[in-house]
Amino acid sequence: MNIRNVSIRDYKKIKVLLKRHNMNLINYKRWLNLWKKNPSLKSSRIKWTKGWVIEDNKKVVGHIGQFPMQYFLNKKPYLSSILYGWVVDKQYRSHSIVLLRKYFSQSSIDLFLITNLNEISNKIMKAIKVKEVPVESLNYSLVIALNIKNITKSLFKNISFPFKKFILNICSSLLLLLFQKKINSWKNKFSSKNIIKHSEFDKKFNHFWEKIKNSQKNKFLFRRDKDSLKWHLDYFVKNRKAWIYLSVKNKKINGYSICIEKNNLKKGIKSALLLDLVTLDHSQEVSKNLIGTNIAEARRRNCDIFEFRGFDKEKVLCMNSFNPFKKELLHNPFCYKPNNKKLNVLLAQNKYWYPSYLDGDAIIDL
């Protein structure tokens, strides 16, 4: 048995390992592009390791992967390592900590960011002093119910009982009647007058990113220029699984949003997740108009729910004006470990964070 660096030739073996643990791995081309087309590596001179595997008799029995994302705070760039696919077969589980030591021992990284932890791995991270991102809105999701019938059906998908279809139809009708006002209240809370659908990440995003980098310099933000957004999301936009809306005033962009579809095949639920919501001058009106337009788009796409999670208090306040349901989560899946003294002090305070599904590996397995 040995532990070594990940090679591109390991893809199939890693995919098999993850499948054994009911985890997904993106297709080979997208996996390769985590590093090959990554703008963070183009602007950095460091030699990047794709991760590490535990190998026994040429079989991959453990893996921890990473890719870089560049973040900014106070106009200064920071290199973050995003952990993904940390998994070890049961009989080799005692070596899990060795993989973590390899990962966290990298001296060239400013911040280690983990955004997709399950309950067990969350406890392990806490035990080794990895910190939770201190943002309360990561502990719950704000949800707009768009299809009560499908949501009710999904709750009982794996349960059999007599007259199931008939009973569920009655239940969904009662729920719709009971929550009718709440379910429909979002419809008159926004205006789409200055909201324009956009088809790609182009040079407009470079100009807007420069403005955001200055106006929101006190937020720890993933680099949101054309190349970075394209690297992270172009696959979804081209396959019509993600959409972009711009807010325009006097022919200038003053905000934008990105949303993505997620199909949960096990539950039979189709969700729309708000990935990003950025506005100039902290305009609540622009934020509400973008959120409302995305809810309407999700409904047109026959999504069952629209989900909002993370961001900051200001954006949460805007989302709450749509009277959503609140879904509490078992744990906060966003954790971090600073490798930089300044970040260690600043990121202990929630005011510097602006987390969302855009960060880390939260969407790479969609």
pLDDT confidence of residue 43: 66
Q: Is residue 267 part of a domain?
A: yes
**CATH code for the domain of 322:** 3.40.630.30
164-210 per-position pLDDT tens digit: 777 778 887 888 778 888 888 899 999 999 999 999 999 999 999 99
pLDDT band at 365 (very low <50, low <70, confident <90, very high): low
Q: Is residue 351 part of a domain?
A: no
State percent of the chain over pLDDT 70: 98
SS3 content of the chain, % helix, strand, coil (to 5): 40, 30, 30
Whether the pLDDT of residue 81 is over 80: the answer is yes
Mean of per-residue pLDDT scores for the chain? 92
Residues 197 and 96 in one domain: no
Residues 195 and 316 in one domain: yes
Residues 197 and 309 in one domain: yes
Nearest CA among 48, 44, 53, 42 for reference residue 2:
53
Residues 125 and 255 in one domain: no
Q: What is 216-247 written as a DSSP string?
A: TTTSBEE--SHHHHHHHHHHHHHTTSEEEEEE
For residues 224 and 206, what is the distance between their CA atoms, to the nearest angstrom? Answer: 8
Neighbours of 121 (CB within 10 A): 20
Q: Is residue 239 part of a domain?
A: yes
Nearest CA among 219, 255, 283, 284 for reference residue 71:
219
**186 HSE (CA, 13 A, CB side):** 29
> For the chain, what is the domain count?
2
94-148 per-position pLDDT tens digit: 889 999 999 999 999 999 999 988 778 888 888 888 999 999 999 999 999 999 8
Residue 338 DSSP class: E
Strands 76-88 and 111-114, how do they pair? parallel
Tell me the average pLDDT across 22-29: 92
Residues 111 and 209 in one domain: no
* Segment among 217-226, 269-278, 280-289 with least mean pLDDT: 280-289
Tell me the average pLDDT across 254-263: 95
| pTM flag (> 0.85) | yes
The token pair at 353 is 């964070």
The token pair at 311 is 């961001």
297-322 per-position pLDDT tens digit: 999 999 999 999 999 999 999 999 99
pLDDT confidence of residue 131: 94
Q: Is residue 242 part of a domain?
A: yes
Domain assignment of residue 289, given as a range: 140-147+185-328
Residues 115 and 201 in one domain: no
Residues 235 and 101 in one domain: no
C-alpha separations of 346 from 73, 195, 294 in Å:
9, 35, 32
Residues 201 and 264 in one domain: yes
